Amino acid sequence: MPFVKKQTVASPKVLKQKRIESIDLLRGIVMIIMALDHVRDYFHRDAFLFDPTNLDRTNVILFFTRFITHYCAPVFVFLAGVSAYLYGSKRTIKQLSWYLFSRGLWLVFAELFIIVLGRTFNPTFPLVNLQVIWAIGISMMVLSGLVYMRMRYILLVAVVLIAGHNILDNVHVPGTGAWAFFWSILHEPKEFAYGRVDIFVQYPLLPWMGLMAFGYYLGQLYAPGYDREKRRNILLYLGSSMLVLFFFLRCFNLYGDVAPWSIQKNYVFNLMSLINVTKYPPSLLYILVTIGPALILLDLIEKPLNKLTQKISVYGRVPFFYYVVHIYLIHVFAMIAAKISGYKWSDMILKTKVYRTPELKGYGFNLLTTYLLWIGLVLLLYPMCKWFDTYKRKHQATKYWLTYL
């Protein structure tokens, strides 16, 4: 992919670049879809009983309700890499590196103390769940060092991490000691109990770091002056190639996922088995089947915004703000729902994951109600995101800290 031959970051004197609407739009789409999964966690009755990708218990609508949300985290991480390149195109490498490191550090802090609190509402922090914001933060810190390398080497690192980490699927470190924790952070999701605190490493880092580096590499496609038609052709070709590679590897169970697919009871369930790939950590096949369509969509949506897509883009311009606020709102609504359902609101002060909470046995609503709650949440978030987007645009030049939100 010969976009440019070496790393190029513009002088800080380069004129301010116009925001790329297709990136904001794609990010907005996945932010909206992401909220569906989080609403389902706190409201859907079956979320307390079984995994929606369990083909022995799920149904078609529930499976695809979960599957569509698989696109959120990888697209979010990938676009964070693209945005890092665009941020650096107006600054020196040193400025970019410091920004990525410091923002990554802030995101790790935010995951540990702001988002964890929003998920549990328990100020004693009995559960620390290391999820997507943590993975983005650490990946940014790693990228802060990678940006000093030539682009071809950044791509090499990305490909090795994304395509090669599944070689490690059968490597396990038993126990809960330091080496087990370190290996879990790199590749194997696992829970650890240290005193009164449970730490769940849900997003091991190796593939996420590779995906962000890949996004940074492809950020060149959006460099000022890059030919629009060439960019769109590359996105379409690359996205289609990723899907072809996915189906080739998956159909023959050759490589790229720890869980092979198998023949099911009917054609729909065969398809479900085929695309039922591993998210924790994201397998090569998981990344191919999510990022491939995302690249194709980036090609298709590169056009002037209409009234609907303008509104969706608002969510995409304030992703961190949206993420934090929606976590807290969902939990507040879940407290109200628990009270209405005959439980105590305090049952939603969690000591463990919500679906493991014994006080909430029998709690939950059907899938239609879950969808209605999701739509209501997204609509409620719009004026908040619109306000913050306006505030950020107006004050970002004078308030540097806004670039971290």
What are the tens digits of pLDDT across the range 6-53? 454 444 444 445 789 999 999 999 999 999 999 999 999 999 999 999
Residue 403's pLDDT is: 87
Cis peptide before 207 (omega within 30 of 0): no
Asked if residues 87 and 96 have their Cβ atoms less than 8 Å apart, the reply is yes
Looking at the domain assignment, is residue 359 inside a domain? yes
Q: Which domain holds residue 58?
A: 21-404
> Which secondary structure element, helix H or strand E, spans residue 25, and what is its range?
helix 21-43
Looking at the domain assignment, is residue 28 inside a domain? yes
Which residues of the chain register pLDDT less than 50? Answer: 2, 4-6, 8-16
User: Tens digits of per-residue pLDDT, 130-150?
Assistant: 999 999 999 999 999 999 999
SS3 304: coil
Looking at the domain assignment, is residue 13 inside a domain? no
Rounded CA-CA distance 110/117 in Å is 10
Rounded CA-CA distance 184/205 in Å is 9
Rounded CA-CA distance 311/275 in Å is 31
Residue 7's pLDDT is: 53
Quote the pTM value: 0.94
SS3 323: helix
Length of the chain counted residue by residue: 405
Looking at the domain assignment, is residue 395 inside a domain? yes
Asked if residues 135 and 208 have their Cβ atoms less than 8 Å apart, the reply is yes
Looking at the domain assignment, is residue 327 inside a domain? yes
Rounded to 5°, the CA angle 97-72-331 comes to 100
Residue 12's pLDDT is: 41
Residue 14's pLDDT is: 41
Cα dist from 89 to 17, 85, 92, 384, whole Å: 9, 6, 8, 30
Looking at the domain assignment, is residue 166 inside a domain? yes
Q: Count up the domains in the chain and report the number.
A: 1
Mean of pLDDT over the chain: 94
Strand partners, 199: 128, 192
Residue 17's pLDDT is: 55
Rounded to 5°, the CA angle 96-98-104 comes to 100
Looking at the domain assignment, is residue 8 inside a domain? no
Looking at the domain assignment, is residue 9 inside a domain? no
Residue 222's pLDDT is: 96
